[in-house]
A and B are shown apart, each in its own frame.
Chain A
Amino acid sequence: MRLFVSEGAPGSLPVLAAAGRAQGRAELLISTVGPEECVVPFLTRPKVPVLQLDSGNYLFSTSAICRYFFLLSGWEQDDLTNQWLEWEATELQPALSAALYYLVVQGKKGEDVLGPVRRALMHIDHSLSRRSCPFLAGETESLADIVLWGALYPLLQDPSYLPEELGALHSWFQTLSSQEPCQRAAETVLKQQGVLALRPYLQKQPQPGSLEGRLISNEPEEEELATLSEEEIAVAVAAWEKGLESLPPLRPQQNPVYSRLRQWNTLYLCGTDEYGTATETKAMEEGLTPQEICDKYHVIHADIYRWFNISFDFFGRTTTPQQTKITQDIFQRLLARGFVLQDTVEQLRCEHCARFLADRFVEGVCPFCGYEEARGDQCDKCGKLINAIELKKPQCKVCRSCPVVKSSQHLFLDLPKLGARVEEWLEKTLPGSDWTPNARFIIRSWLRDGLKPRCITRDLKWGTPVPLEGFEDKVFYVWFDATIGYLSITANYTDQWEKWWKNPEQVNLYQFMAKDNVPFHGIVFPSSALGAEDNYTLVSHLIATEYLNYEDGKFSKSRGVGVFGDMAQDTGIPADIWRFYLLYIRPEGQDSAFSWTDMLFKNNSELLNNLGNFINRAGMFVSKFFGGFVPEMVLTSDDQRLLTHVTLELQHYHQLLEKVRIRDALRSILTISRHGNQYIQVNEPWKRIKGGEADRQRAGTVTGLAVNIAALLSVMLQPYMPTVSATIQAQLQLPPPARSILPTNFLCTLPAGHQIGTVSPLFQKLENDQIESLKQRFSGGQAKASPKTAAGPQQIQALTEEVTKQGNIVRELKAQKADKNQIAAEVAKLLDLKKQLAQAEGKPLETPKGKKKK
């Protein structure tokens, strides 16, 4: 048999040391070959040492060669040796190769060299001392010892790399090194040069990969790009080339939201729901009539939504003649078809205030636990639900007098009788629709618990009148007529309202709400509508969100915790940024929380550094390098792949928004922008532009493609940030058809030669101290400007009562049409009391707006 070795190949050591074992069994010839010679015919890469057997077979594993020699001498295989050799090959060798490479090829020293192998050395030392055997696999030296010794010798022959504290290892090593076969092998291979004799061989080996890096990766997951098919690329490129031609004719319309961008005929409505107890109470507080209160707050609401760039076709209100007409019509039809029941209801009435008290206006002793401040619907202490009439020692919260139980007649919607129709409708509607899971769950729970007749009237004055004899002093319960509000608001917008609301075959109705409103939209109104039998359009997709919390807790208007609608304007942060962040954290599947620091982070990282950075750079390159004209684009196959990826992401965005997954679709936009940034980074157009003809053309292509991506982003962004979108489109001078249509493929909307406008940054960085002070401002109750009169809770209570009393006085005077001067005096008193109260609470005083007639 022939052994092939190479100068400085470390594997030669154990092989030569083991070769002595085979002596007498077979003739061994030794040949020296160059380190890059491929001795083994079937191995692509060169390997030494190699043993060619008489049979013609090759052994190319150093350990296997040694094993062969030992087997020839009659040695029997055992588990422990196998274990050592497996460990040597899988654990020791990688560490040792690295150490030797650092030492011999890179000239490193000390811990840089010893570090990688320290653990392995300790393992050997530990095993030896634990077994208290002089050798690795038994009492006499054996295969395992030779193989390991041979591997370790080049390093450990230098005492500075043989740690003194590893005593067992130390003596084991010395014992073996002093043995004749090992000594001879060492001399042959290292030739007095020590470890440096290995240099000619090691230099030709690949650099060892970082051991740590391979085992623990801290690299963030790179977004895996989907593999593209040839067909996908071809389709995407063809669509791109058709460009503006592909766009359908523009249907002129005002305010784009997603559905309008898709050219679907859309009506977007909302309004203020104004009837009910809360309005009456607030009116008393402020010394105004309910109508005046509603007029005032409707305007405030409308302004807020306008500031937020919410583009309703119409923002209406429920206190209109149309509402009365439609509600009474539905009621009459329900009555005629036998879906209305009549019953007696016992309620608490405060004779002093001359009204029946809603639950929240009664306070008393809890009949279960004796808590003295139990509310009329639930005891705050023991949490049990109660009926107001069950309270012991009840008191009217306003005037503190004791209310009496009075019975009155009320009307009930016979939900149990309508139940079958509702279930039938749900069975048809729910499957395949986009009702959110929480809405489905809530509706099913209501149905499962069994529908009960629901009271639809109240003893109030402020509401839709009940058109039935004997019920003249009653109005409809707000949650009966509130949902009818959508219809009446439409009727106030167009006289063609029935084309929307009595047209279920052609209309898709989406309703958006928080989950506490689901039962009214999903069961109560559909029941009324189905019972009225007038072909009403029912909700096709009920989209309910979970709750939005504030920082670590909940929003609280009374405690001043959180940012409420009208306060956002004062923060100095633009509406579009609010829109972006709130949509980013929209509580779709579960509750989410508003966080100032998170908003700062998202603004700075996603808007500024990702989106803003990409769009700005793309535009800047066109301006700076191409005089403001989009350059020629010659797409390489890589560019075509990018184009296809953008198209696929765009289509993903469509799929998501069609399913009302607003949060996720926003991330699609950011993903495309990220790809865009990477594309620019990789292609370095700012460098290429300074190069030769080919480089400049490349810079042109990259710039052109990038600015087209920016144009696409501007349209995708429109539902989320309409002002920013318009700004981008103005900066890029996007042709009008492309501005308000969202295609399903990525099109070339800015062809070569198109002139863009002036480009400037879209977003501003939010600073830490700015955010910190805002966070403080809205955290509630803390000492801001210290109030002049530090008021205790009792004082506040007393002032509150005085304000309410004074409000009553003013209202009565006005109702009685008393002397103008007298009224003015009492109003002045009221305003002063309110000021005192505000100061005591540390809140800013609201300045009442002037009266506005609708």
Chain B
Amino acid sequence: MAAAAELTLLEKSLGLSKGNKYSAQGERQIPVLQTNNGPSLTGLTTIAAHLVKQANKEYLLGSTAEEKAVVQQWLEYRVTRVDGHSSKDDIHTILKDLNSYLEDKVYLTGYNFTLADILLYYGLHRFIVSIQIVIGSFCAVFRMPFFSLS
């Protein structure tokens, strides 16, 4: 879905009542948030992290140094690998890798649900919806206990 829509959805999930207004920038339509008390913020994961802080849910960004780094790693993975790639091979590799990674984990950081899980799920949604036959091989990905977000 479009970045602005995704961020609005995130706001709701975070329990933020005030709806922010987003604009889009450049050819790839990168979201921009105009903040009240500071310069504008550009970028999906940047704005998302900001919203988390706004909602006083910073634990969603990780608690330990390791967790924080892991969260950011998968946020980066979402906007570099998952977004903008639609070749069957790319998608297949992504899902395969993720499946492998998640085999011994509940969430991306291990046992704690974080922003990384939310944004990666949003990003993968369009693939999972369009794949019918492949579901069997990616059990781990689909085990992730998310609240319904559609």
- Shortest C-beta distance, A813 to chain B (Å), equals 84
Interface size, chain B (Cβ < 8 Å): 29
Contact A43 B46 (CB under 8 A): no
Contact of B76 among A42, A63, A216 (CB under 8 A): A63
Q: Looking at chain A's contact residues, is the secondary structure mostly helix, strand, loop, or mixed?
A: helix
By a CB distance below 8 angstroms, the chain B residues around A68 are 65-66, 68-69
Complex: A71 Cα to B72 Cα, angstroms: 12
- The answer to the question of A53 belonging to the interface, with a C-beta cut-off of 8 Å to chain B, is yes
- The answer to the question of B101 belonging to the interface, with a C-beta cut-off of 8 Å to chain A, is yes
Contact A44 B66 (CB under 8 A): no
Contact of B66 among A41, A57, A216 (CB under 8 A): A57
Contact B76 A83 (CB under 8 A): no
Contact A60 B46 (CB under 8 A): no
- The answer to the question of B42 belonging to the interface, with a C-beta cut-off of 8 Å to chain A, is yes
Flag B84-102 by CB within 8 Å of A: 1 or 0 each: 0000000001001100110
Contact A55 B97 (CB under 8 A): no
Q: What residue of chain A has the Cβ atom nearest to residue B48's Cβ? A: A82
Complex: A60 Cα to B72 Cα, angstroms: 11
Contact of A90 among B50, B65, B70, B79 (CB under 8 A): B79
Contact A77:B76 (CB < 8 A) given known A53-B66, A71-B68, A82-B46 = no
Contact B93 A45 (CB under 8 A): yes
Which residues 32-62 of B have a CB within 8 angstroms of A? 41-46, 49-50, 61
Contact A59 B73 (CB under 8 A): yes
Contact of A79 among B49, B72, B80 (CB under 8 A): B49
Contact A64:B72 (CB < 8 A) given known A44-B93, A44-B96, A77-B61 = yes
Contact A82:B49 (CB < 8 A) given known A57-B70, A67-B72, A71-B65 = yes
- The answer to the question of B77 belonging to the interface, with a C-beta cut-off of 8 Å to chain A, is yes
Contact B66 A86 (CB under 8 A): no
Contact of A61 among B28, B42, B45, B77 (CB under 8 A): B77
By a CB distance below 8 angstroms, the chain A residues around B96 are 44
By a CB distance below 8 angstroms, the chain B residues around A45 are 93
Contact B73 A79 (CB under 8 A): no
Contact of A82 among B45, B65, B66, B70 (CB under 8 A): B45
Complex: A309 Cα to B44 Cα, angstroms: 65
- The answer to the question of A577 belonging to the interface, with a C-beta cut-off of 8 Å to chain B, is no
Complex: A53 Cα to B64 Cα, angstroms: 13
By a CB distance below 8 angstroms, the chain A residues around B70 are 57, 59, 64
Contact B46 A83 (CB under 8 A): yes
By a CB distance below 8 angstroms, the chain B residues around A93 are 80
Complex: A805 Cα to B27 Cα, angstroms: 75
Number of cross-chain contacts by CB at 8 Å: 81
- The answer to the question of A87 belonging to the interface, with a C-beta cut-off of 8 Å to chain B, is yes
By a CB distance below 8 angstroms, the chain A residues around B101 are 42
Complex: A61 Cα to B78 Cα, angstroms: 12
Contact B97 A42 (CB under 8 A): yes
- The answer to the question of A89 belonging to the interface, with a C-beta cut-off of 8 Å to chain B, is yes
Contact A89 B69 (CB under 8 A): no
- Shortest C-beta distance, B64 to chain A (Å), equals 9
Which residues 77-113 of A have a CB within 8 angstroms of B? 77, 79, 82-83, 85-87, 89-90, 93
Complex: A65 Cα to B70 Cα, angstroms: 9
Contact B97 A82 (CB under 8 A): no
By a CB distance below 8 angstroms, the chain B residues around A44 are 93, 96-97
Q: What residue of chain A has the Cβ atom nearest to residue B65's Cβ? A: A71
Contact B49 A64 (CB under 8 A): no
Flag A38-62 by CB within 8 Å of B: 1 or 0 each: 0001111100000001010101110
- The answer to the question of A72 belonging to the interface, with a C-beta cut-off of 8 Å to chain B, is yes
Contact of B100 among A41, A53, A61, A63 (CB under 8 A): A41
By a CB distance below 8 angstroms, the chain A residues around B46 are 79, 82-83, 86
- Shortest C-beta distance, A151 to chain B (Å), equals 14
- Shortest C-beta distance, B132 to chain A (Å), equals 13
Q: What residue of chain A has the Cβ atom nearest to residue B105's Cβ? A: A57
Contact B97 A86 (CB under 8 A): no
Contact B76 A89 (CB under 8 A): yes
- Shortest C-beta distance, A490 to chain B (Å), equals 58
By a CB distance below 8 angstroms, the chain A residues around B61 are 77
By a CB distance below 8 angstroms, the chain B residues around A42 are 97, 100-101
By a CB distance below 8 angstroms, the chain A residues around B27 are 215-216
Complex: A77 Cα to B69 Cα, angstroms: 10
The 9 A-B residue pairs with the shortest CB-CB distance in the complex, in nearest-first order: A64-B73, A71-B65, A68-B69, A42-B100, A86-B43, A42-B101, A61-B73, A83-B46, A82-B46
Instruction: Provide a sorted-by-A list of 6 A–B residue pairs whose CB atoms are within 8 angstroms.
Output: A53-B66, A61-B77, A68-B68, A77-B61, A82-B45, A87-B42
Q: Which residues of B contact A (CB under 8 A)?
A: 27-28, 30, 41-46, 49-50, 61, 65-66, 68-70, 72-73, 76-77, 79-80, 93, 96-97, 100-101, 110
Give 10 A-B pairs besides A59-B69, A77-B49, A83-B42 with Cβ atoms closer than 8 angstroms: A55-B66, A61-B73, A63-B72, A67-B68, A68-B66, A68-B68, A79-B49, A82-B72, A86-B79, A89-B76
